[in-house]
Structure 1
Protein backbone atom coordinates (compact mmCIF):
# COMPACT_ATOMS: atom_id res chain seq x y z
CA UNK A 1 0.00 0.00 0.00
CA UNK A 2 1.30 3.41 -0.94
CA UNK A 3 2.05 6.03 1.68
CA UNK A 4 -0.30 8.73 0.40
CA UNK A 5 -1.32 12.07 1.85
CA UNK A 6 -5.06 11.23 2.09
CA UNK A 7 -7.51 13.86 3.26
CA UNK A 8 -11.24 13.28 3.74
CA UNK A 9 -13.47 16.33 3.81
CA UNK A 10 -17.13 17.28 3.56
CA UNK A 11 -18.08 18.49 0.08
CA UNK A 12 -18.98 22.15 -0.50
CA UNK A 13 -21.04 23.95 -3.13
CA UNK A 14 -17.88 24.58 -5.17
CA UNK A 15 -17.53 20.76 -5.49
CA UNK A 16 -20.86 20.29 -7.27
CA UNK A 17 -19.44 19.63 -10.75
CA UNK A 18 -16.79 17.32 -9.27
CA UNK A 19 -19.49 15.29 -7.48
CA UNK A 20 -21.46 15.05 -10.72
CA UNK A 21 -18.31 13.85 -12.53
CA UNK A 22 -17.76 11.14 -9.89
CA UNK A 23 -21.39 10.03 -10.16
CA UNK A 24 -20.95 9.79 -13.92
CA UNK A 25 -17.74 7.75 -13.52
CA UNK A 26 -19.52 5.46 -11.06
CA UNK A 27 -22.40 4.90 -13.48
CA UNK A 28 -19.81 3.84 -16.09
CA UNK A 29 -18.09 1.54 -13.57
CA UNK A 30 -21.46 -0.01 -12.65
CA UNK A 31 -22.29 -0.48 -16.35
CA UNK A 32 -25.40 1.71 -16.20
CA UNK A 33 -24.51 5.04 -17.82
CA UNK A 34 -27.91 4.96 -19.55
CA UNK A 35 -29.60 5.32 -16.13
CA UNK A 36 -27.75 8.52 -15.24
CA UNK A 37 -30.26 11.33 -14.70
CA UNK A 38 -28.27 13.40 -12.19
CA UNK A 39 -27.58 16.99 -13.19
CA UNK A 40 -25.90 19.84 -11.35
CA UNK A 41 -29.31 21.48 -10.86
CA UNK A 42 -30.89 18.32 -9.43
CA UNK A 43 -27.93 17.77 -7.09
CA UNK A 44 -28.02 21.37 -5.93
CA UNK A 45 -31.65 20.92 -4.84
CA UNK A 46 -31.00 17.83 -2.71
CA UNK A 47 -27.42 17.76 -1.50
CA UNK A 48 -25.78 19.45 1.44
CA UNK A 49 -26.30 22.87 -0.09
CA UNK A 50 -29.93 23.23 1.04
CA UNK A 51 -31.30 23.97 4.51
CA UNK A 52 -32.32 20.34 5.16
CA UNK A 53 -30.07 18.25 2.93
CA UNK A 54 -31.24 14.78 2.00
CA UNK A 55 -27.72 13.47 1.58
CA UNK A 56 -24.14 14.33 2.51
CA UNK A 57 -20.96 13.82 0.53
CA UNK A 58 -17.41 13.16 1.66
CA UNK A 59 -14.58 13.71 -0.79
CA UNK A 60 -11.30 11.83 -0.68
CA UNK A 61 -8.28 13.84 -1.76
CA UNK A 62 -4.73 12.74 -2.38
CA UNK A 63 -2.54 15.79 -2.21
CA UNK A 64 -4.80 18.47 -3.63
CA UNK A 65 -6.68 16.22 -6.05
CA UNK A 66 -10.08 14.65 -5.36
CA UNK A 67 -9.94 10.96 -6.24
CA UNK A 68 -13.22 9.61 -4.87
CA UNK A 69 -16.36 10.21 -2.90
CA UNK A 70 -18.86 8.71 -0.50
CA UNK A 71 -22.52 9.76 -0.59
CA UNK A 72 -24.57 8.89 2.49
CA UNK A 73 -27.63 9.73 4.54
CA UNK A 74 -29.42 8.81 7.75
CA UNK A 75 -31.78 5.87 7.86
CA UNK A 76 -33.48 4.16 10.77
CA UNK A 77 -33.84 0.66 12.17
CA UNK A 78 -37.09 -0.11 13.94
CA UNK A 79 -35.53 -3.31 15.32
CA UNK A 80 -32.66 -1.40 16.91
CA UNK A 81 -34.74 1.73 17.60
CA UNK A 82 -31.66 3.64 16.45
CA UNK A 83 -30.56 5.75 13.52
CA UNK A 84 -28.37 4.09 10.93
CA UNK A 85 -26.07 5.35 8.20
CA UNK A 86 -26.89 4.35 4.63
CA UNK A 87 -23.95 4.55 2.24
CA UNK A 88 -25.51 5.19 -1.15
CA UNK A 89 -22.29 5.41 -3.18
CA UNK A 90 -18.61 4.88 -2.57
CA UNK A 91 -16.38 5.36 -5.59
CA UNK A 92 -12.65 5.77 -6.18
CA UNK A 93 -10.88 6.39 -9.43
CA UNK A 94 -9.39 3.06 -10.47
CA UNK A 95 -5.72 4.01 -10.10
CA UNK A 96 -6.30 4.90 -6.40
CA UNK A 97 -7.93 1.60 -5.41
CA UNK A 98 -5.93 -0.59 -3.08
CA UNK A 99 -3.99 2.37 -1.65
CA UNK A 100 -5.95 3.03 1.54
CA UNK A 101 -8.25 5.74 0.18
CA UNK A 102 -11.41 3.62 0.38
CA UNK A 103 -10.47 2.57 3.90
CA UNK A 104 -10.03 6.23 4.86
CA UNK A 105 -13.50 7.03 3.51
CA UNK A 106 -15.11 4.13 5.39
CA UNK A 107 -13.31 5.08 8.61
CA UNK A 108 -14.61 8.64 8.28
CA UNK A 109 -18.11 7.28 7.77
CA UNK A 110 -17.71 5.03 10.82
CA UNK A 111 -16.71 8.03 12.92
CA UNK A 112 -19.83 9.88 11.73
CA UNK A 113 -21.97 6.83 12.51
CA UNK A 114 -20.41 6.51 15.95
CA UNK A 115 -20.86 10.21 16.76
CA UNK A 116 -24.55 10.09 15.79
CA UNK A 117 -25.27 6.87 17.73
CA UNK A 118 -25.95 4.80 14.61
CA UNK A 119 -26.71 1.16 15.26
CA UNK A 120 -25.27 0.12 11.92
CA UNK A 121 -23.92 1.18 8.55
CA UNK A 122 -25.40 -0.42 5.46
CA UNK A 123 -24.99 -0.33 1.69
CA UNK A 124 -25.35 -2.50 -1.38
CA UNK A 125 -22.62 -3.94 -3.56
CA UNK A 126 -23.03 -5.46 -7.01
CA UNK A 127 -22.67 -9.24 -6.82
CA UNK A 128 -20.23 -9.09 -9.73
CA UNK A 129 -17.95 -6.60 -7.96
CA UNK A 130 -15.66 -9.27 -6.50
CA UNK A 131 -12.85 -6.84 -5.56
CA UNK A 132 -15.39 -4.53 -3.88
CA UNK A 133 -16.91 -7.40 -1.90
CA UNK A 134 -13.45 -8.51 -0.75
CA UNK A 135 -12.61 -4.93 0.25
CA UNK A 136 -15.81 -4.52 2.28
CA UNK A 137 -15.31 -7.87 4.01
CA UNK A 138 -11.74 -6.88 4.88
CA UNK A 139 -13.20 -3.78 6.59
CA UNK A 140 -15.48 -6.01 8.71
CA UNK A 141 -18.66 -5.96 6.61
CA UNK A 142 -20.88 -9.03 6.48
CA UNK A 143 -22.44 -9.68 3.07
CA UNK A 144 -26.08 -10.58 3.75
CA UNK A 145 -27.15 -13.16 1.19
CA UNK A 146 -30.66 -13.66 2.59
CA UNK A 147 -31.85 -10.10 1.91
CA UNK A 148 -32.87 -8.83 -1.50
CA UNK A 149 -33.11 -5.23 -2.61
CA UNK A 150 -36.65 -4.28 -3.66
CA UNK A 151 -37.14 -1.35 -6.01
CA UNK A 152 -40.09 0.47 -7.46
CA UNK A 153 -39.28 3.45 -9.65
CA UNK A 154 -40.60 5.76 -12.35
CA UNK A 155 -43.88 4.60 -13.87
CA UNK A 156 -44.22 1.80 -11.31
CA UNK A 157 -44.39 4.40 -8.52
CA UNK A 158 -47.13 6.24 -10.42
CA UNK A 159 -49.01 2.98 -11.04
CA UNK A 160 -48.80 1.92 -7.39
CA UNK A 161 -49.84 5.40 -6.25
CA UNK A 162 -52.96 5.04 -8.38
CA UNK A 163 -52.02 7.44 -11.18
Structure 2
Protein backbone atom coordinates (compact mmCIF):
# COMPACT_ATOMS: atom_id res chain seq x y z
CA UNK A 1 0.00 0.00 0.00
CA UNK A 2 1.30 3.47 -0.85
CA UNK A 3 1.66 6.13 1.81
CA UNK A 4 -0.83 8.55 0.33
CA UNK A 5 -2.11 11.57 2.18
CA UNK A 6 -5.80 10.59 2.14
CA UNK A 7 -8.24 13.15 3.51
CA UNK A 8 -11.79 12.10 4.41
CA UNK A 9 -14.43 14.79 4.72
CA UNK A 10 -18.21 15.15 4.81
CA UNK A 11 -19.72 16.19 1.51
CA UNK A 12 -21.16 19.68 1.12
CA UNK A 13 -23.76 21.15 -1.21
CA UNK A 14 -20.98 22.28 -3.57
CA UNK A 15 -20.13 18.56 -4.05
CA UNK A 16 -23.53 17.68 -5.49
CA UNK A 17 -22.39 17.06 -9.09
CA UNK A 18 -19.34 15.15 -7.86
CA UNK A 19 -21.53 12.85 -5.76
CA UNK A 20 -23.83 12.30 -8.73
CA UNK A 21 -20.82 11.39 -10.89
CA UNK A 22 -19.57 8.93 -8.25
CA UNK A 23 -23.01 7.28 -8.04
CA UNK A 24 -23.03 6.91 -11.83
CA UNK A 25 -19.53 5.39 -11.78
CA UNK A 26 -20.52 2.94 -9.06
CA UNK A 27 -23.69 2.06 -10.94
CA UNK A 28 -21.61 1.29 -14.01
CA UNK A 29 -19.12 -0.75 -11.94
CA UNK A 30 -22.02 -2.75 -10.47
CA UNK A 31 -23.47 -3.37 -13.94
CA UNK A 32 -26.69 -1.58 -13.07
CA UNK A 33 -26.40 1.59 -15.14
CA UNK A 34 -29.80 0.84 -16.71
CA UNK A 35 -31.40 1.41 -13.28
CA UNK A 36 -29.56 4.69 -12.68
CA UNK A 37 -32.22 7.30 -11.86
CA UNK A 38 -30.34 9.70 -9.59
CA UNK A 39 -30.48 13.40 -10.38
CA UNK A 40 -28.85 16.42 -8.80
CA UNK A 41 -32.29 17.67 -7.75
CA UNK A 42 -33.20 14.38 -6.02
CA UNK A 43 -29.82 14.25 -4.31
CA UNK A 44 -30.14 17.79 -3.04
CA UNK A 45 -33.58 17.04 -1.57
CA UNK A 46 -32.30 13.98 0.32
CA UNK A 47 -28.71 14.96 1.21
CA UNK A 48 -28.84 18.67 1.86
CA UNK A 49 -32.14 19.32 3.58
CA UNK A 50 -33.33 19.94 7.15
CA UNK A 51 -33.37 16.20 7.96
CA UNK A 52 -30.91 14.48 5.59
CA UNK A 53 -31.75 10.87 4.81
CA UNK A 54 -28.12 9.95 4.13
CA UNK A 55 -24.62 11.29 4.61
CA UNK A 56 -21.69 11.18 2.22
CA UNK A 57 -18.00 10.95 2.96
CA UNK A 58 -15.53 11.95 0.26
CA UNK A 59 -11.98 10.63 0.05
CA UNK A 60 -9.48 13.08 -1.41
CA UNK A 61 -5.88 12.60 -2.50
CA UNK A 62 -3.90 15.71 -3.43
CA UNK A 63 -7.12 17.74 -3.27
CA UNK A 64 -8.96 15.50 -5.79
CA UNK A 65 -11.91 13.34 -4.80
CA UNK A 66 -11.18 9.70 -5.64
CA UNK A 67 -13.87 7.82 -3.71
CA UNK A 68 -17.00 8.11 -1.61
CA UNK A 69 -19.10 6.35 0.98
CA UNK A 70 -22.84 6.96 1.33
CA UNK A 71 -24.46 5.81 4.57
CA UNK A 72 -27.45 6.27 6.84
CA UNK A 73 -28.68 5.32 10.28
CA UNK A 74 -30.48 2.02 10.70
CA UNK A 75 -31.69 0.13 13.73
CA UNK A 76 -31.30 -3.39 15.09
CA UNK A 77 -34.19 -4.71 17.15
CA UNK A 78 -31.95 -7.57 18.29
CA UNK A 79 -29.37 -5.15 19.66
CA UNK A 80 -31.95 -2.45 20.46
CA UNK A 81 -29.34 -0.10 19.16
CA UNK A 82 -28.67 2.26 16.30
CA UNK A 83 -26.52 0.90 13.48
CA UNK A 84 -25.10 2.27 10.26
CA UNK A 85 -26.07 1.07 6.80
CA UNK A 86 -23.35 1.60 4.19
CA UNK A 87 -25.27 2.04 0.96
CA UNK A 88 -22.33 2.71 -1.33
CA UNK A 89 -18.57 2.50 -1.09
CA UNK A 90 -16.67 3.28 -4.27
CA UNK A 91 -13.07 4.08 -5.12
CA UNK A 92 -12.01 4.99 -8.64
CA UNK A 93 -10.05 2.19 -10.33
CA UNK A 94 -6.58 3.82 -10.40
CA UNK A 95 -6.76 4.39 -6.62
CA UNK A 96 -7.89 0.91 -5.58
CA UNK A 97 -5.47 -0.98 -3.39
CA UNK A 98 -3.89 2.24 -2.15
CA UNK A 99 -5.72 2.60 1.17
CA UNK A 100 -8.59 4.84 0.07
CA UNK A 101 -11.35 2.31 0.77
CA UNK A 102 -9.74 1.45 4.10
CA UNK A 103 -9.61 5.14 5.04
CA UNK A 104 -13.31 5.54 4.20
CA UNK A 105 -14.30 2.48 6.26
CA UNK A 106 -12.08 3.57 9.16
CA UNK A 107 -13.76 7.00 9.19
CA UNK A 108 -17.18 5.33 9.08
CA UNK A 109 -16.16 3.10 12.01
CA UNK A 110 -15.14 6.20 13.95
CA UNK A 111 -18.60 7.69 13.32
CA UNK A 112 -20.22 4.40 14.42
CA UNK A 113 -18.14 4.30 17.58
CA UNK A 114 -18.80 7.92 18.48
CA UNK A 115 -22.57 7.45 18.08
CA UNK A 116 -22.67 4.10 19.93
CA UNK A 117 -23.72 2.07 16.89
CA UNK A 118 -23.99 -1.66 17.35
CA UNK A 119 -22.79 -2.53 13.86
CA UNK A 120 -22.14 -1.40 10.31
CA UNK A 121 -23.82 -3.40 7.55
CA UNK A 122 -23.86 -3.40 3.76
CA UNK A 123 -24.22 -5.68 0.78
CA UNK A 124 -21.61 -6.87 -1.68
CA UNK A 125 -22.21 -8.50 -5.04
CA UNK A 126 -21.36 -12.21 -4.86
CA UNK A 127 -19.38 -11.84 -8.09
CA UNK A 128 -17.18 -9.06 -6.67
CA UNK A 129 -14.34 -11.27 -5.39
CA UNK A 130 -11.89 -8.37 -4.90
CA UNK A 131 -14.54 -6.46 -2.92
CA UNK A 132 -15.31 -9.48 -0.75
CA UNK A 133 -11.60 -10.04 -0.07
CA UNK A 134 -11.19 -6.35 0.80
CA UNK A 135 -14.12 -6.38 3.22
CA UNK A 136 -12.93 -9.57 4.90
CA UNK A 137 -9.47 -8.03 5.28
CA UNK A 138 -11.14 -5.15 7.13
CA UNK A 139 -12.74 -7.62 9.56
CA UNK A 140 -16.17 -7.98 7.96
CA UNK A 141 -18.01 -11.28 8.13
CA UNK A 142 -19.80 -12.17 4.89
CA UNK A 143 -23.18 -13.58 5.92
CA UNK A 144 -23.99 -16.31 3.39
CA UNK A 145 -27.31 -17.28 4.97
CA UNK A 146 -28.96 -13.87 4.55
CA UNK A 147 -30.49 -12.70 1.29
CA UNK A 148 -31.51 -9.20 0.27
CA UNK A 149 -35.24 -8.85 -0.37
CA UNK A 150 -36.44 -6.00 -2.54
CA UNK A 151 -39.75 -4.62 -3.71
CA UNK A 152 -39.59 -1.56 -5.92
CA UNK A 153 -41.57 0.62 -8.31
CA UNK A 154 -44.72 -1.07 -9.56
CA UNK A 155 -44.27 -3.85 -7.00
CA UNK A 156 -44.68 -1.33 -4.19
CA UNK A 157 -47.81 0.08 -5.80
CA UNK A 158 -49.25 -3.39 -6.34
CA UNK A 159 -48.55 -4.49 -2.76
CA UNK A 160 -50.00 -1.22 -1.44
CA UNK A 161 -53.19 -1.98 -3.32
CA UNK A 162 -52.88 0.76 -5.95
TM-score, scaled relative to structure 2 = 0.99
Question: 1:133 is paired with a residue of what secondary structure?
Answer: helix
Aligned mates of 1:22, 1:148 — CA distance in 2: 26
Provide the aligned C-alpha RMSD in A. 0.4
**Residue 28 of structure 2: aligned partner:** 28
Question: 2:59 is paired with a residue of what secondary structure?
Answer: strand
**Residue 66 of structure 2: aligned partner:** 67
1:98-124 Cα deviation digits (max 9, x unpaired): 000000000000000001110000000
Question: 2:97 is paired with a residue of what secondary structure?
Answer: coil
Q: Cα distance, 1:141 vs. partner? A: 0.1
Aligned mates of 2:129, 2:17 — CA distance in 1: 29
**Residue 112 of structure 2: aligned partner:** 113
Moved over 3 A (4+): none
Paired residues for 1:69-108 under 5 Å:
69-108=68-107
Aligned mates of 1:114, 1:53 — CA distance in 2: 20
1:15-68 Cα deviation digits (max 9, x unpaired): 000000000000110011110000000000001x10100000000000100000
Unmatched 5+ stretches in structure 1: none
